[in-house]
């Protein structure tokens, strides 16, 4: 018997576009995927059990407590079985429930139990689609890591025209398959990434910090996860959100906390990339209460923090790859090389603040990568996501 190319769970909710989902089931089946379908009771107003079961060649799941099926905790079993979950059509109702963690039927319960890629193809009336709470819920789902397959505009079943028509089954199929077939050169690898600034407390309300946005570290985490890695992202304070389900985020504030968290997991990592702008000094004796305004001058005593990159460089094993960043304003290459060797890294990514559009706070970057045998790779000014891709490509080649 031929093995399936993958397992797809298709969720159908109550919208007229449900009839098009029959073509989607057919497309996956025709191309060698195994398909199981979960429909809400409202979806069953639009399509029939016989059609779904005939096309998918599997029993249809509708009830959370279905006593006719062999004993199994269905929502867990289906979430585990799936390589990807596709909800098409997705009504405003299922989008709202999933965005807010509500699980009151089989499909919404599976969604919460699923740690695989989830694709959502919204379909509804244009006014409903544009309604602010629906848009906010879609944003929440994107932040959770769902892939939203945006609806088309055109004439809608309710007689009006606008945006809200479910994307065509062929497009949905292509989006899912392209995602599943992306090369995963970091599959099976553990990658730790540090990101963002650190905040060093002066008193309970003030801190010493820096202008790092965390964008570069987050872009590296996303890209590494897309390349198949299990990512631990140790991040200082930032407003950024992680998208990918394979990213475990650890929030820290100070250099000491970042050091502790990194040391805790470093031994299990294959690759470690230190993109955080860690404070080099921290107030020696933070005040327990808010410092009141008194004299004309205030002296702050600062002490050196632990260097995380250098500490890991001291303990790292032969088969672990360590990458540092160097942010320089002068003698860039010379300083970067010093950091590379002094901290025992395998590669250093040099940012020059003299390059416009590179470094802190910008959405773009321009870097020079230098390996420990002093091979260099240059990346032109481009988005931090593209730079992350270049860095990880060099890392993959070094592996
Ligand atoms: N780094 C670190 N822990 C610190 C300081 C820096 O892990 N306490 C890491 C950074 O994440 C980066 C690299 O070391 O990957 C270089 O950081 P940078 O600030 O450029 O260099 P420093 O060693 O702090 O030296 P200087 O500030 O004097 O340039």
Q: Any idea which residues carry the catalytic annotation?
A: 158
The reply to whether ligand 1 has any atom less than 6 angstroms from the CB of 164 is: no
Mean pLDDT, rounded, of the chain = 92
Looking from the CA of residue 275, the nearest atom of ligand 1 is 11
Find all residues with CB under 8 Å of 308, minimum gap 6, and list them. Answer: 194, 255, 258, 259, 262, 263, 274, 276, 278
Separation of CA 207 and ligand 1 centre (Å): 19
Residue 76 has pLDDT above 60, yes or no: yes
Is the CB of residue 234 below 6 angstroms from any atom belonging to ligand 1? no
349 Cα nearest atom in ligand 1? 15
Residue of the nearest CA to atom 17 in ligand 1? 326
Per-residue pLDDT for 68 more than 80?
no
Mean pLDDT of 219-233: 94
Distance 281 CA to ligand 1 centre (A): 11
The average pLDDT across 123-136 equals: 95
Measured in Å, residue 208 CA sits from the centre of ligand 1 at 16
Helix, strand, coil % over all residues of the chain, rounded to 5: 35, 25, 40
User: Whose CA is closest to atom 12 on ligand 1?
Assistant: 325
Task: Supply the DSSP string of 347-359, one letter for each residue.
Answer: EEEEEETTSTT-S
Report the nearest-CA residue for atom 18 of ligand 1: 326
Closest CA to 87 of 111, 115, 70: 111
Q: Is the CB of 324 under 6 A from ligand 1?
A: yes
Enclosing H/E stretch for 159? none
- With a pLDDT cut of 70, the percent of the chain lying above it is 97
Distance in Å, CA 278 to ligand 1 centroid: 6
Residue minimizing CA distance to atom 8 of ligand 1: 307
pLDDT, tens digit (0-9, with 9 covering 90-100), for 294-324: 999 999 999 999 999 999 999 999 999 999 9
Q: How far is the CA of 188 from the centre of ligand 1 (A)?
A: 29
Whose CA is closest to 122, among 167, 173, 62? 167
Ligand 1 contact, 307 CB (< 6 A): yes
Does 327 contact ligand 1 (Cβ within 6 A)? Answer: yes
pLDDT at 211: 92
Q: Confirm or reject: Cβ of 170 under 6 Å from ligand 1.
A: no
Domains of the chain, first to last: 7-181 (3.40.50.1950), 190-283+300-398 (3.40.50.10300)
Lowest mean pLDDT among 68-77, 146-155, 357-366: 68-77
Looking at residues 177-197, what average pLDDT do you find? 93
The token duo for 305 is: 């923090």
Residues 6+ apart with CB under 8 A from 174: none
* DSSP codes joined into one string, 57-97: SS--B--SS-TTSPSS-HHHHHHHH-SEEEEEEE-HHHHHH
Question: Counting atoms of ligand 1 from 1, which one is nearest the CA of 309?
Answer: 7
Query: Ligand 1 within 6 A of 339 CB?
Result: yes
The residue-averaged pLDDT of 239-263 equals 93
Token readout for 223 is 């890209």
Confidence of residue 73 (pLDDT cuts 50, 70, 90): low
Report the separation in Å between the CA atom of 172 and the middle of ligand 1, taken as the mean of its atom positions: 44
Q: Residue 12: name the closest of 53, 40, 54 by CA.
A: 40
pLDDT digits (tens, 9 = 90+) for 6-42: 999 999 999 999 999 999 999 999 999 999 999 999 9
Task: Estimate the crossing angle of helix 18-30 against helix 169-181, to 10 degrees.
Answer: 40
Tokens of 46: 């639009």
Q: What per-residue confidence (pLDDT) applies to 1? A: 47
Confidence of residue 330 (pLDDT cuts 50, 70, 90): confident
Cβ–ligand 1 distance for 274 under 6 Å, the answer yes
Q: Cα(304) to centroid of ligand 1, in Å?
A: 12
């Amino acid at each position: 018997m031929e093995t399936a190319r993958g397992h797809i769970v298709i969720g159908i909710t109550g919208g007229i576009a449900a009839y098009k989902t029959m073509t989607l089931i057919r497309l996956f089946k025709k191309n060698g995927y195994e398909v199981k379908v979960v429909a809400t009771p409202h979806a069953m107003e639009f399509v029939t059990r016989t059609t779904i079961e005939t096309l998918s060649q599997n029993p249809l799941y509708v009830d959370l407590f279905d006593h006719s099926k062999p004993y199994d905790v269905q929502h867990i079993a289906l979430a585990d079985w799936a390589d990807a979950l596709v909800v098409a059509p997705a009504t405003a109702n299922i989008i709202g429930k999933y965005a807010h963690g509500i699980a009151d039927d089989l499909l919404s319960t599976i969604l919460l139990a699923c740690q695989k890629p989830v694709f959502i193809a919204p379909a509804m009336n244009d006014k409903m689609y544009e309604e602010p709470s629906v848009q906010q819920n879609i944003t929440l789902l994107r932040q959770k890591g769902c892939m939203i397959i945006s609806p088309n505009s055109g004439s809608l079943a309710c007689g009006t025209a606008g945006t809200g028509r479910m994307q065509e089954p062929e497009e949905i199929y292509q989006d899912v398959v392209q995602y599943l077939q992306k090369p995963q050169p970091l599959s099976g690898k553990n990658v730790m990434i540090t990101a963002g600034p650190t905040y060093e407390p002066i008193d309970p309300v003030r801190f010493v910090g820096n202008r790092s946005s965390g964008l570069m570290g987050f872009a590296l985490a996303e890209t590494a996860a897309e390349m198949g890695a299990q990512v631990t992202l140790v991040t200082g304070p930032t407003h950024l959100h992680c998208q990918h389900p394979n990213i475990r985020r650890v929030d820290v504030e100070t250099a000491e906390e970042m050091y502790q968290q990194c040391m805790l997991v470093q031994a299990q990592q294959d690759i470690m990339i230190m993109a955080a702008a860690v404070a080099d000094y921290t107030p020696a004796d933070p005040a327990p209460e808010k410092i009141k305004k008194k004299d004309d001058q205030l002296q702050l005593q600062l002490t050196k923090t632990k260097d995380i990159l250098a500490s890991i460089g001291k303990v790292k094993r032969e088969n672990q790859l360590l990458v540092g960043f160097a942010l320089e304003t002068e003698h860039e290459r010379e300083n970067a090389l010093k950091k590379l060797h002094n901290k025992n890294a395998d590669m250093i990514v040099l940012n020059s603040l003299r390059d416009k559009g590179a470094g802190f706070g910008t959405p773009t970057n321009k870097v020079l990568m230098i390996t420990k045998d002093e091979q260099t790779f240059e990346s032109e000014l481009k988005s931090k996501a593209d730079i992350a891709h270049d860095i990880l490509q060099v890392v993959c080649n070094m592996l």
